[in-house]
Amino acid sequence: MILYPAIDVFGGKVVRLRQGEYDDSTVYGVDPVAMALTFVDQGATWVHMVDLDAARSGEPVNRSVIASVARAIAGRASLQVGGGVRTEADAEALATAGVARVVMGSAAVADPALVRRVSDVVSVAVGLDHRNGVAATHGWTESSGVQVDDLLTQFPTASAFVITDISRDGMLTGPDIEGLARAVSRTSIPVVASGGVGTLSHLAELAAVIGLNGVIVGKALYESKFTVSEALVVLS
């Protein structure tokens, strides 16, 4: 199973939100490049970045930071980036910056055909962020009214689904094992879990979900619940 250490960037700094609330954030660093290199030095083969500014406003203010991270880890690890990727031009700019895979959330839910077009430019993961199974959009500030389970069949060209349970994100209380297992059973496209991981035992639970492709971990790493190296042992 692939481990995706997460770097959420807001105002150029490394932060974590609790349950997707912008007013409830913690700053964990001021150098996203150094953070990415720390993860890669410990064995990570992917790094997951989210541009929180772009997710909320649509303005790609952190794109230079993203490009710097891509350059720093090139040849050692791949970079996956989400947050405000809403057009083909956004995706193309990120691909040019060295991003291996973009994550499209709000725009994908609004226009599934967009994913097919962007897939011609760069690998696309569809981010399905939800509260109680209902997809949320626009930086988690709006509800789409659409069930995540109903969206799993709408993106045949997606390279992955990143499924985030917002109620668990940043809470360290454990992932939604039942919901993730159900999602895996309903699609042949790789599913990546996100939200809730707080212990190595949580990772072991995810590793036991047959067919689950990967897991994004953020706050647990920043709060020193475990290291990337320790996580990789559990997931191997």
Active site residue 31: no
Per-residue pLDDT band for 141 (boundaries 50, 70, 90) equals very low
Alpha-carbon distance of 21 to 35, in angstroms, equals 22
Alpha-carbon distance of 103 to 161, in angstroms, equals 9
> Which of 114-128, 144-158, 160-174 shows the highest mean pLDDT?
114-128
> Which residue out of 51, 90, 129, 176 is catalytically annotated?
129
- Only one residue has tokens 């839910």, namely 109
> For 29-63, how does the pLDDT look when each residue is reduced to its tens digit (9 = 90+)?
999 999 999 999 999 999 999 999 998 888 889 99
- Only one residue has tokens 């960037």, namely 9
Longest pairwise C-alpha distance within the chain: 41
Per-residue pLDDT band for 24 (boundaries 50, 70, 90) equals confident
Domains in the chain with CATH codes:
2-235 (3.20.20.70)
Alpha-carbon distance of 145 to 194, in angstroms, equals 20
Which residues in 136-146 are b (16+ Cβ under 10 Å) and which e?
bbbbbeeebeb
Under DSSP, is residue 166 helix (H, G, I), strand (E, B) or coil?
coil
User: Are the beta carbons of 81 and 49 closer than 8 angstroms?
Assistant: yes
> For 177-191, how does the pLDDT look when each residue is reduced to its tens digit (9 = 90+)?
999 999 999 999 999
Alpha-carbon distance of 145 to 135, in angstroms, equals 7
Q: Write out the DSSP string of 197-225.
A: --SHHHHHHHHTSTT--EEEE-HHHHTTS
Q: Is the pLDDT of residue 7 over 60?
A: yes
* pTM for the full predicted model: 0.93
User: Are the beta carbons of 79 and 73 closer than 8 angstroms?
Assistant: yes
Identify the bridge partners of residue 13 per DSSP, sorted by sequence position.
10
Q: Which backbone phi and psi does 220 adopt, to 5 degrees?
A: -60, -35
Q: What angle do CA 88, 137, 145 make, to 5 degrees?
A: 120
> Which residue out of 8, 51, 53, 176 is catalytically annotated?
8
- Only one residue has tokens 């959009």, namely 137
Active site residue 129: yes
Residues of the chain with pLDDT > 90: what percent? 78
Q: Name the residue type at position 157.
A: T
3-state helix, strand, coil in the chain (%, to 5): 35, 30, 35
The pLDDT value recorded for residue 219 is 92
User: Are the beta carbons of 151 and 109 closer than 8 angstroms?
Assistant: yes
